[in-house]
Amino acid sequence: MRGSVNWQVTEVYKSIDCIGESKHTAKEEARAAGAETWHEVGKAIGVFNYNTMADFKAIACQAFTAVQAEYGIRDLTKITGEQLAGWMADKIQAGDWQRATFDKYAAALEKLESAINVYCKNSQIDRQVQFDFKEVRALAAHTLGQRNDESRAFERPADIVVAINPKYELTAKIQLEGGGRINEVFKIYDHQLKGLRPDPITGEIKGWYGMIGKGGKTGDKSLSVATYHEIVAELNARGKTTIDALCGMRTDEKGQMKGWIQKTGSDGAQTPVSLKTYAKLERTFVPGSRCIEVSKRGYNNAIKRACEKTCQAYHGSHGFRWNWSQARFNELQTKAGYTHEQALSRVSQEMTHERSDITNHYLH
């Protein structure tokens, strides 16, 4: 294989580019093919997210550049696990990485192994690689400590909601009461609202809105009746229409493929957006719909300032998701009589996680 670092990495990762395909189906096929553990399933499937793909390719470029300089390797398909492990060990011992950084890079380079092997198979190259990172993982555990198991739940989340800039108060309520990720709460459209109905588990009347979450998974989030009515009032008072039409995909003046939209008040002019954004709009756009929206950066900064006011540790907006998971877990056990395992499974489902044991991560 020849070419620049970026070209080789891009070509190799094309072999596992599954963006737009069903990750769930891929996992089922991997299990049918013999993958048993979640680690084995993860290595067997491709990449389904634009941001993840960009991160993996950037890390692969860094690693390949370093290996080229150290060992003179010019062909990405000939890279070895020992070379990559040595590079990571140097980073650890130089103090360049924290534990979370190591975990991210190790995961990305394991996916590089899969990409190289699929590429070689598709290109009829008689070569397969196998990266063994056991020793460098042990070094990371010894030098950087074990994975961070510190709770990210806020000590007094209600105090943060009270102290936060009023511009972001409703968003904080939505996230604390519904447990959504920031991308599921910073913008709410009127067509997402689904009215009041009983909680299917506890029977309590709640307000509901639909969302499309991470990986394209859909679901309904529940809120208190008061917060739901507040959303309705806010939409009626200040909700705005931001997009009038989706106008298809075509290249821009630089020859790059873009999605094109017509924004409200643009007098018919069309604005380019990324293909990722356009694909999401195709799933969610309703002509004439209104929304309330806050800046994600502004929202996180407002949470940080509210934490300072209330003398609490700042954990980003995701801290509200931790608080919700703990509250929902307790609610299922105390109000619905769920067992520990039943509550784990239900909370994971409502968080759009596939594994019930992931909930354990949020409960301490």
Place of tokens 């009461």: 177
198, 333: one domain:
yes
75, 127: one domain:
yes
CA distance linking residue 103 with residue 309, whole number of Å: 33
Please give the span between the terminal C-alpha atoms of the chain, in angstroms, as a whole number: 48
Q: What is the mean pLDDT of residues 270-277?
A: 89
190, 281: one domain:
no
- Residue 357's alpha-carbon distances to 19, 99, 244, 340, 348, in angstroms, are 26, 22, 43, 11, 8
121, 220: one domain:
no
Measured at the alpha carbon of residue 276, what is the angle toward residues 272 and 282, in degrees to the nearest 5? 80
CA distance linking residue 315 with residue 14, whole number of Å: 35
10, 72: one domain:
yes
The pLDDT of residue 32: 86
CA distance linking residue 117 with residue 15, whole number of Å: 9
Alpha helices, H only, the chain: 5-14, 23-32, 38-44, 50-71, 81-93, 99-122, 134-144, 157-163, 166-178, 225-238, 275-284, 296-309, 318-336, 340-350
CA distance linking residue 37 with residue 31, whole number of Å: 9
* pLDDT grade for 289, boundaries at 50, 70 and 90: confident
Cα-to-chain-centroid distance, residue 73:
34
> Does residue 132 lie in a domain region?
yes
Residue 147 has pLDDT above 70, yes or no: no
* pLDDT grade for 120, boundaries at 50, 70 and 90: very high
CA distance linking residue 263 with residue 254, whole number of Å: 22
91, 206: one domain:
no
Report CA Rg, the chain. Answer: 23
Q: What is the mean pLDDT of residues 72-99?
A: 90
How many structural domains compose the chain? 3
- Domain, as residue range, for 125: 5-144
Highest mean pLDDT out of 89-93, 272-276, 329-333? 329-333
User: Looking at residue 27, what DSSP letter applies?
Assistant: H
Q: What is the mean pLDDT of residues 8-17?
A: 94
Residue 148 has pLDDT above 60, yes or no: no
211, 302: one domain:
yes
CB atoms within 10 A of CB 183: 14
Q: What is the mean pLDDT of residues 234-245?
A: 84
> Does residue 125 lie in a domain region?
yes
303, 166: one domain:
yes
> Does residue 149 lie in a domain region?
no
pLDDT exceeding 90 applies to what percent of the chain? 60
Residue 187 has pLDDT above 70, yes or no: yes
74, 222: one domain:
no
Give the three-state DSSP class for 130.
coil
* pLDDT grade for 144, boundaries at 50, 70 and 90: confident
The pLDDT of residue 146: 63
96, 196: one domain:
no
